[in-house]
Amino acid sequence: MIPLALVAMGEVLAERAGVVNIGLEGILLISAFTGTVGAFSFHNAWVGMLIGTLTGLLIGYIHGVISLYLKGDQIISGVAINLFAMGFVAFGIIVVWGVHGAFNLPLEDSLKGWTVLLPPATAGGDQRFVGKISVLLPFTFLMAGFIWWVLEKTAFGLRVKAVGENPEAADVAGIRVERVRLIAVLIGAALGGLAGAYLSVDWNGMITKDISAGRGFIALATVVFSKLNPLLTLLGAFVFGLFDNVGLWLSTNAWANRIGLNYFIRMLPYVVTLLVVAGVIGRARFPKAIGQPYRRE
Amino acid sequence: MSASMSAPKTRRLGNVLGLLRPLFDVLTAIVVGLAVGALLMWWFGYDPWKAYAALFRGAFGDKWGRADTLFAAAPLVLTGLTFAIGVRAGLFNIGAQGQMLMGALAAVAVGILPLPPVVHQTVTLGAAMLAGALWGLPAAYLKATRGVHEVISTIMLNWVARWLALYLAVRLLSDPNRAEKTVSVLASTRFSVVIPGSDLTHVVWISVLFALFIYWVLWHTPAGYGLRCTGLNQDASRYAGINPGKSVNLAFILGGMAAGLAGASQIVGRPPLYGMYTDLSTLANLGFDGIAVALLGRNHPIGAIFGALFFGALNTGTHMMQYQALVPLEMVRVVQGVIVLAVAVPELSKIFRVWSLFKGHQTVKK
């Protein structure tokens, strides 16, 4: 749930400003990789998280420059980032560690959170391990609130919404359209980078060449689901994360495997996404000027 | 320079240059991609010259390399067309991967039916085209009725297709003797090999023929004209009486057919397997590579052929590059990604500033 939520709320900010970032999937993947490299090289998980976030920032900057200043097509730029990411991460894993496809981070280098333990089932028995809660979880909630506050209660948020709805009017009013959009994109991409680092350094403790598994695109759907409200992205991410986990759990269940149910369960997050964007669960209203490069006439 | 030429001459020269501009943009993008690749290789201690030389030799050096390049290019033409047709209609159909998988599955299913040779091949290809087109229709429908952005819907369909294909390949279509592959299609539907010892089969002609077919449809039929107009300006087209919904549907149908054919070509045209591996490995990446091919070919069917040849060469040569220069073959994906990123920049060749001498307009604002 955490990576989806972080990516989605960042993208909400960017899309309110009128910029679509299809390259989120690529950002997730590359940041997961660079985060792992950072955590491994410095033997410090926090350094890995930082490097991942910075990676997201960098790629977001490239996307921003291409779409905002060079007036390239935002969708093509995003697709290109995804293509690049697929190759770069696979290549990187080989070049850095000499292994193919996946690399496991040593336990001491990954981010430790709080482990959730239940009292022993029987007297004198061991505590039962339920799960791990990441330090990023409260951060995610706080971030959602923060972005909501920025959008609704600050002058900057007003500028973001203005350039998304009507860049011409904003320009006339003296707002520097590209600059506001770029900042929004950078924040969104940085959050994406953080989410990517979380995927590898925190949650999985490893990097694989396809660790993002379409989450970047699911995040885009989460954005639609949340009607571009950062607070609702938490709900959306939770719902999608739920299906994801049910699928993973079922894939280890023997009965389900026998009838091949796990394949269909793995499909569920994507099917649900389709239903969501189809408006079965509510339609979203996008800013008027989304996806179009702004040119001064 | 313009001052010394008469006005009509300058205009004609400008027209020729205008046509050449896209070509120069693409070439610039390729150079940029190769340069970044070389930089990365050098940074990690590899020899870029040796690598690129090996790449070229692997792709074009001997007749088997050339055959393999063509073999690699054939499906890319088709998946490239899927994306290109969409762009021409003003939409982003990136569902080629899923549509292709459906086509491949249909080819396997139909390929094991007993039918006389030529009929069998026709039916197989037809079934694949149908399957691909059908898989694209949900996206078309959602776009038409609910305004769903096709980027999201087609990608979701890709993932659904992947799991569905895995299920069918492993559960229903797998070879009882060899679990890692599906059953192979019957000889009556297979295409024969062109050059003995290579993997190239005559199915490659299908790619070329379909590309030419698409060219004819888009540029020489009323429906194709409507599609292109819708892509250029939907409102103006509607005002002119062209139905945008029909154009969108046509784009998805044609695109799905192309992708389905691509999938089928990897079944009936791929010796010695003539089937699929149950991990879908022979079909991996063809969809996304098609996007890159289409972008390189400027979303034109003929351009897609050349783009596919280029990518086919890259994908083929990379094995030689790994063998001789010890560069991991994933590097070629990096190069491809950078090339696409460079192509995303409009009028990239403006980097060289020469053309602005002829036009004399304002430079890009920062």
Higher pLDDT, B182 or A111: B182
pLDDT-derived band at B102, boundaries 50, 70, 90 = very high
* Greater model confidence, B185 or B248: B248
A282 near B CB under 8 A: no
Q: Which of A34-43, A180-189, A286-295, B48-57 has the highest mean pLDDT?
A: A180-189
Other CB atoms closer than 10 Å to residue B256's CB: what's the count?
31
N-to-C CA span, chain A:
43
Phi, psi of A104 (to 5 degrees): -95, 130
pLDDT at site B44: 79
Q: Report CB contact under 8 Å: A278, B146.
A: yes
Opening angle at CA B104, ends B101 and B105, nearest 5:
90
Residue in A62, A75, A264 closest to B92 by CB: A75
pLDDT of residue B352: 55
Angle ∠(A135,A138,A139) on CA atoms, nearest 5: 80
State how far Cα B56 lies from the chain centre: 21
B94 φ, ψ to 5°?
-105, 30
Higher pLDDT, A160 or B85: B85
Is residue B77 over pLDDT 90?
A: yes
Residue B366's pLDDT is 40
Structure tokens belonging to residue A3? 């990576």
The percentage of residues in chain A with a pLDDT greater than 70, rounded to a whole number, is 80
What is the pLDDT, as a whole number, of residue B80? 93
pLDDT band at B259 (very low <50, low <70, confident <90, very high): very high
pLDDT score, position B2 = 45
Task: Tell me the chain A residues in contact with residue B171 when contact means C-beta distances shorter than 8 Å.
Answer: 260
Closest CA to B304 of B344, B337, B267, B258: B258
Query: B188 near B115, Cβ under 8 Å?
Result: yes
Q: Which position has the higher pLDDT, B288 or A280?
A: B288
Quick count: other Cβ atoms within 10 Å of Cβ B37? 27
**Chain A stretch 9-68, residues whose beta carbon is closer than 8 A to a beta carbon of chain B:** 22, 62, 66
Position with higher pLDDT, B54 vs A244: B54
Predicted confidence band of residue B363 (pLDDT cuts 50, 70, 90): very low
pLDDT over 50 (residue B292): yes
User: How is B164-221 classified by DSSP, letter by letter?
Assistant: HHHHIIIIISB-SS-TTBBPPPPGGGPPPBSSTTSS-BTTHHHHHHHHHHHHHHHHHS
Listed residue (B255, B331, B281) closest to A94, CA to CA: B331
pLDDT band at B262 (very low <50, low <70, confident <90, very high): very high
How many residues are there in chain A?
A: 297
Chain segment B342-360, per-residue pLDDT in tens: 887 766 655 555 444 444 4
To the nearest whole angstrom, how far is the Cα of A54 from the nearest Cα of chain B?
20
The pLDDT mean for chain A works out to: 79
How many angstroms separate the CA atoms of B73 and A239, rounded?
A: 41
Q: Which residue has the higher pLDDT, B283 or A291?
A: B283
Q: Two tokens at A125?
A: 């028995």
Percent of chain A whose pLDDT exceeds 90? 5
Band (A186; pLDDT cuts 50, 70, 90): very high
Provide mean pLDDT across the span A76-93: 83
Average pLDDT score over residue span A266-286 = 71
Query: How many angstroms separate the CA of residue B207 from the nearest CA in chain A?
Result: 24
Report the chain B residue with the minimal C-alpha distance to residue A90. Answer: B330
pLDDT of A195 strictly over 70: yes
The answer to whether A129 and A115 have CB atoms below 8 angstroms apart is yes
Q: Which of B152 and B347 is assigned the larger pLDDT?
A: B152
Locate B234 and state its tokens.
Answer: 């939907």
Q: Would you say residue B272 has pLDDT above 80?
A: no
What mean pLDDT comes out for the span B69-98? Answer: 91
Nearest CA in chain A to B291: A79
Nearest-by-Cβ selection for A80 from B157, B285, B337: B337
What tens digit of pLDDT does each residue of A19-48 get?
A: 888 888 899 999 988 888 888 888 777 888
Q: How far is A92 from chain B (nearest CA, A)?
A: 9
- State the pLDDT at residue B8: 60
In this prediction, residue B220 has a pLDDT band, given cuts at 50, 70 and 90, of: very high
Interface test with A, best of B334, B336, B338 (most A CBs within 10 A): B334
- Whether B345 sits inside 8 A of A72 (CB atoms) is yes
Give the pLDDT confidence of B241-250 residue by residue, as tens digits: 888 888 899 9
Cα gap A34→A105, rounded to integer Å: 12
Task: Give the closest-approach CA distance of A124 to chain B in angstroms.
Answer: 45
What is the per-residue pLDDT for A260?
A: 66
Q: What is the pLDDT of residue B257?
A: 94
Q: Do A81 and B332 touch (CB under 8 A)?
A: no
B74: alpha, beta or left, given left = phi > 0 and alpha = psi -120 to 50?
alpha
Q: What is the pLDDT of residues A104-136, one digit of tens each?
A: 767 666 666 665 555 555 555 555 555 667 777
B292 in reach of chain A (CB within 8 A) = yes
Question: Which of A248-257, B58-67, B192-201, B316-325 has the weakest average pLDDT?
Answer: A248-257
Categorize the per-residue pLDDT at B100 as very low, low, confident or very high, splitting at 50, 70 and 90: very high
- Quickly count helices (H) and strands (E) in chain B: 14, 0
What value, to the nearest 5°, has the Cα angle with vertex A277 and ends A274 and A281?
105
pLDDT at residue B255 tops 90: yes
- Please state, in angstroms and rounded to a whole number, the distance separating the CA atoms of residues A186 and A174: 21
pLDDT digits (tens, 9 = 90+) for A152-173: 888 888 888 888 888 888 888 8
A105 CB burial (10 A radius; 0-12, 13-18, 19+): buried
Residue of A nearest to B139 (CA): A274
DSSP string for residues in A207-237: EETTTTTTHHHHHHHHHHHTTT-HHHHHHHH
Whether pLDDT at B19 is above 80: no
Task: Please give the residue that has the higher pLDDT: either A123 or A222.
Answer: A222
User: What are the Cα distances from residue B162, in Å, to A246, B283, B285, B345?
Assistant: 18, 10, 12, 31
What's the confidence (pLDDT) of residue B287?
84
A179 touches chain B (CB under 8 A): no
- A138 CB within 8 Å of a chain B CB: no
Percentage of residues in chain B having pLDDT higher than 90: 18
